[in-house]
Amino acid sequence: MKLLLGIPGGIAAYKAADLARLLTREGHTVRCVLTEAGSRFITPLTLASLTGEPVFGANPALPEWRPSPTVEHIELARWADLVAIVPATADLLGKTANGLANDLLSTILLATKAPILWAPAMNTQMWAHPAVQGNVARLNGFGQAFIEPAEGLLACGEEGSGKLAEVEAIAEAIRALGALKLPAIQEKTVLVTAGPTREDLDPVRTLTNRSSGSMGVELARALRDAGAKVKLVLGGDLPAPHGVETVRVRSAEEMLRACQAWWPSCDGIFAAAAVADQRPERMAAEKVKKTEGPETLSLIRTPDILATLSASKHPGQWLVGFAAESEHHTDHAQAKLAKKGLDAVLVNDVQAGRGFGAVENTLTPITAEGPLAPLGPHPKDQLARAVVAWWAAQQH
């Protein structure tokens, strides 16, 4: 991605250097544009050294800066795949919302057709001021994106909203906004289940499985990046991806209820969760004490989430399930496809512990037509993107 990083004058400008370094290391081309005030907080030399790219600005007095802003604002506006403003100041928000442009960065912001992401950072009262909020609403109305400032202790000593969002969260928003959108996925609402479920025996003991939930979380991320509106029902402890509406659940019952609430408004589901098939018959209110003699745990079946959603699906809704198989992969997956009324099953070979926690993984899609070419082996983030691209291609 060709990212234009605009840095106006705010105390959080130094964090833009971290962001520039992070995204450059990921292989993106990052070009920074400093305003006059921005250059008082961070130097062009720092940014040029971190990005390996020239730094642009309107001050010809500094040798590392390119001298002619007159044509550059159009060139750079056309060059960028995405423009991010970090930290977004009240001044630049106000100028852009009102069509004012008196330096390189503000002219680029009016001239570019690329998506624009603002990461505001300012004093709590300034951020809350109706004039600033009005400008934010106006820019939102132009289709420009925002990553909300965080709460915390601000440089001015006040506590509240106005702190620049975490650098990783801004990077995540940039990746999402700058990713290639897939027309078959874009604007679709997709439900994703991820993670293990936990079935409690008593307040301190639980039955669960070895799934971390990373495949489902990566799928949610890849679907978001492809342009889908993603709703994630998440078990386990992994953090939810930025920009993905998430509800956290513990048990299979809770996961079912959360899915049922969202399912009618969804176009389809990827069910990547490792749902416990059984739960203890009774959950003891107090910690169970050990006793003499044989101890028996009585288990009952949990609801099958996919099968339940499949039974209530409306025309046009699709369901993709996962299957962890250690033998007779195709036969078992095809039986699951038919039994649960699915459109596809992605089979994960878990023989000898493969698949769980593995760095690289392979998934074989199976549809009514039989097994298709395997996806992978890839690391899970790349595998998730391959699954989404494969599913988008299936929609034609």
Query: Contact between 305 and ligand CTP (CB under 6 A)?
Result: yes
Among 184, 284, 324, 358, binds ligand CTP (CB under 6 A): 324
Residue 322 binds ligand CTP, judged by CB under 6 A: yes
DSSP code of residue 85: E
Q: Which of 321, 361, 365, 392 binds ligand CTP (CB under 6 A)?
A: 321
Residue 53 near residue 3, CB atoms below 8 Å: no
Tokens 């919302």 appear where? 97
Q: Which is nearer to ligand CTP, 108 or 363 (CB)?
A: 363
Catalytically annotated residue among 32, 156, 259, 266: 156
DSSP 8-class letter at 196 = B
Q: Of residues 114, 306, 337, 366, which one binds ligand CTP by CB under 6 A?
A: 306
Taking each helix axis from N to C terminus, what angle separates 104-111 and 69-79, rounded to the nearest 10 degrees? 40
Nearest to 197 by CA among 181, 209, 205, 214: 209
At its nearest, how many Å lie between ligand CTP and the CB of residue 298?
18
Check if 156 is active-site: yes
Q: Closest approach of Cβ 208 to ligand CTP, in Å?
A: 13
Q: How far is the CB of 266 from ligand CTP (least distance, A)?
A: 14
Does 195 participate in binding ligand CTP (rule CB under 6 A)? Answer: no
Please report whether residue 343 would count as binding ligand CTP according to CB under 6 A: no
- Please, which residue, 9 or 213, has the CB nearer to ligand CTP? 213
If one asks whether residue 323 binds ligand CTP (CB under 6 A), the answer comes out as yes
Instruction: Report the residue closest to ligand CTP, judged by CB.
Output: 305
**If you write DSSP's letter for every residue of 319-345 in order, what string do you get?**
EEEEEEESSSHHHHHHHHHHHHT-SEE
Contact track, ligand CTP, 231-260, x by CB under 6 A = ---------------------x--------
Which residue in the set 221, 231, 336, 385 belongs to the binding site for ligand CTP (CB under 6 A)? 336
Single-letter amino acid code for the residue at 323: A
Closest CA to 177 of 122, 118, 128: 118
State which of residues 96, 106, 135, 302 lies at the interface with ligand CTP (CB under 6 A): 302
Dist. CA 95–CA 97, nearest whole Å: 6
Please choose, out of 36-44, 111-119, 271-279, 366-374, the segment that lies near ligand CTP by the rule CB under 6 A: 271-279
Alpha helices (H) along the chain = 13-25, 38-41, 44-51, 69-79, 90-97, 104-111, 124-128, 130-141, 167-178, 214-225, 252-262, 305-311, 329-340, 380-394
1-30: which residues touch ligand CTP (CB under 6 A)?
none
Can residue 175 be called a binding residue for ligand CTP (CB under 6 A)?
no
Residue 271 binding ligand CTP, by CB under 6 A: yes
Backbone angles phi, psi at 332, to 5 degrees: -65, -40
Shortest spacing between CB 366 and ligand CTP, in angstroms:
12
End-to-end C-alpha distance for the chain, whole angstroms:
27
DSSP string, 230-248: EEEEE-SSPPPPTT-EEEE
- Segment interacting with ligand CTP, rule: CB under 6 A, options 40-48, 68-76, 231-239, 315-323: 315-323
Count of residues in contact with ligand CTP, rule CB under 6 A: 15
Sign for the pseudo-dihedral over CA of 203, 206, 212, 213 = negative
d(CA 66, CA 70): 11
Q: Which of 244, 224, 241, 118 is nearest to 181 (CA)?
A: 224
- Per CB under 6 A, 273 contacts ligand CTP: yes
For ligand CTP, the closer of residues 75 and 331 by Cβ is 331
* Residue 145 Cα to chain centre, angstroms: 15
CB under 6 A: which stretch of 110-118, 171-179, 272-280, 386-394 binds ligand CTP?
272-280
Catalytic (active-site) positions: 156
Residues that bind ligand CTP (CB under 6 A): 193, 252, 271, 273, 275, 277, 302, 304-306, 321-324, 336
